[in-house]
Amino acid sequence: MSFIRPPADGPVGTPRPAEGAAPAPGQHGVRPARVVALPSATGAARALAVVGLLTLGALIPLLGPGAALEGTGEALAPAARPVGVLRTVLFAALCVQVGEIWVARMVPAVPGAPAGLLPRAWSPVAACCGLLAAVALSAIVANGNIWPRTWSELRFGELYGTGDGVLALLEINAFAAAWLLALSRRPGLAALPLAVLVVAEAVRAHPEIETPLLGMALTLVHLTCGALWAGGLFQVLRVLRLWQGHGLREQGAALLARYARAAAWLFAAVTVTGTLSTLRRMEPHTVLEQLTTTGYGRTLLAKLLLLAVVAVLALRARRRAVAAGDPGAVFAPGRAEVALLGLVVAVSALLTALPVPIRW
C-alpha cells in the first residue's frame, strides 16, 4: 500500500490548468451538472387518467349490478357480483393470450422485423388467472348459481349432471391446456384450447330453445373479434415500445398499419354481431325503452358509448401516427384506448351476470 498522495491538482500525469482558465469538469470538486427530466404535467395527467379508468374497470363488476338494476324492479341474482368479477378476469385472460398469439404470427410478415424480438410473454400468467377464475365460476355453478360460503357447499361432483356444469369443466380444461402450451416451446398451439373456450362461452350464453345456433354463431364471432381487437392492441403497443428502443421505427410503423387494417374489420364485426344479438334479445320497437328501463339495457348502452369513444381514439391515434410519421405517436391515445377496452371487457362481463330482458 502506498502512502504517497497525488498532488492537489489531480492524479499524477494530469496537466495543471492555466491561470484564469475554468477548471475542467471533475477537477477541484466541480462535477458536471446532471440534467433531470421531470415528467410533464400532460404525461402525469394521462397516467392518472389511465389509472383511473383501470380502477373504474375493476369496480364495475362489483358495483355495477346494483347500480344497473336500481329502480328497474328487477331482482339481483345472489352471485351477480362475484360472477361479474370472475368473468372480467376470464375475458381479460382470453384477450391477453389471443393478442399475443395473433401478434406473434403477424410480426414475421413485417418487412425487416427482427426474429424473436418480442416482449416477455404474459400468456402463462394470464392463463393461470383464467384457470383460477374458471374454477371459481364452476364452484358457483355446482352450488346452484350461489356463491359457496362453506367448504361443504363446494360440490364439484354436481358439475357432471348439468349442461352448464359440463361447459364449466370444459372451460377449466381449456385454460389448463392453454397454460401448459404457453409454457412449452410451441406457445402458438394454445390457440386450439382457447378456441374451445370461446365455443363453450358461446354455447353457455345461449340456452334458449328458439334459434340457439344463430345466437351461438353471433356470440362466437363477437367474442373472437373482441378478443383479437383488445388483446391485439395491447400486444402491439408492447411490441412498438420494445422496437422503439432498438431503433426499429419503420418496422413498427408497418406492424401498426397491419394491425390498424385488421382492427377496422374487427370493429365492424363486433358492431354488427352486437347489434344483431341485441335485436334477438329485445323486440325492435322496445329497444329504446329497454335501454333505459332494464339493467341489461342500461349496461348495454354504457358499452355502446364506450365503444364509440374507443373508435374515436383509434381514429385519432391513426391520424397522429400518419401526420408524425412515427408510430411512437400512438402511445398516448393507444394507452387510453386499451384502458377503455378494459372497461368494455368489464361491462361485457357484467352483462353476463344481469337478467336477460323479456321479449314482449
Q: pLDDT tens digits, residue range 178-187?
A: 999 999 999 9
The torsion defined by the Cα of 317, 321, 326 and 330, in degrees rounded to 10, comes to 0
The single-letter code of the amino acid at 281 is: R
CA distance 249 to 224: 30
**Residue 33: pLDDT over 60:** no
pLDDT at res. 189: 96
Please write the tens of the pLDDT for every residue from 345-354: 888 888 888 8
pLDDT band at 220 (very low <50, low <70, confident <90, very high): very high
Average pLDDT (95-102) is 96
The residue ranges of every structural domain in the chain are: 75-351
pLDDT at res. 37: 42
**Residue 13: pLDDT over 60:** no
CA distance 245 to 260: 22
Find the largest Cα–Cα distance for the chain: 100
Mean of all residue pLDDT scores within the chain: 80
pLDDT at res. 317: 74
**Residue 2: pLDDT over 50:** no
**Residue 166: pLDDT over 90:** yes
**Residue 7: pLDDT over 50:** no
Return the higher-pLDDT residue of 309 and 63. Answer: 309
Least confident of 164-178, 181-195, 242-256: 242-256
Place of cell 365503444: 307
pLDDT at res. 25: 47
pLDDT band at 57 (very low <50, low <70, confident <90, very high): low
pLDDT at res. 39: 44
Helices (H), the chain: 41-69, 80-106, 123-142, 163-182, 191-204, 212-244, 249-281, 287-293, 295-324, 331-351
pLDDT at res. 211: 76
pLDDT band at 257 (very low <50, low <70, confident <90, very high): confident
From the number of C-beta atoms within 10 Å of its C-beta (0-12, 13-18, 19+), residue 16 rates as: exposed
For 150, residues 6+ apart whose C-beta sits below 8 A from its C-beta are none
pLDDT at res. 221: 96
Among the listed residues 214, 232, 193, 195, the one whose alpha carbon sits nearest the alpha carbon of residue 337: 232
CA distance 120 to 327: 21
- With beta carbons less than 8 A apart as the criterion, state whether 130 and 94 touch: yes
CA distance 258 to 253: 9
Average pLDDT (24-29) is 47
Least confident of 10-14, 229-233, 244-248, 331-335: 10-14
Percent residues over pLDDT 90 in the chain: 34
Cell of 230: 383488445
pLDDT at res. 210: 73
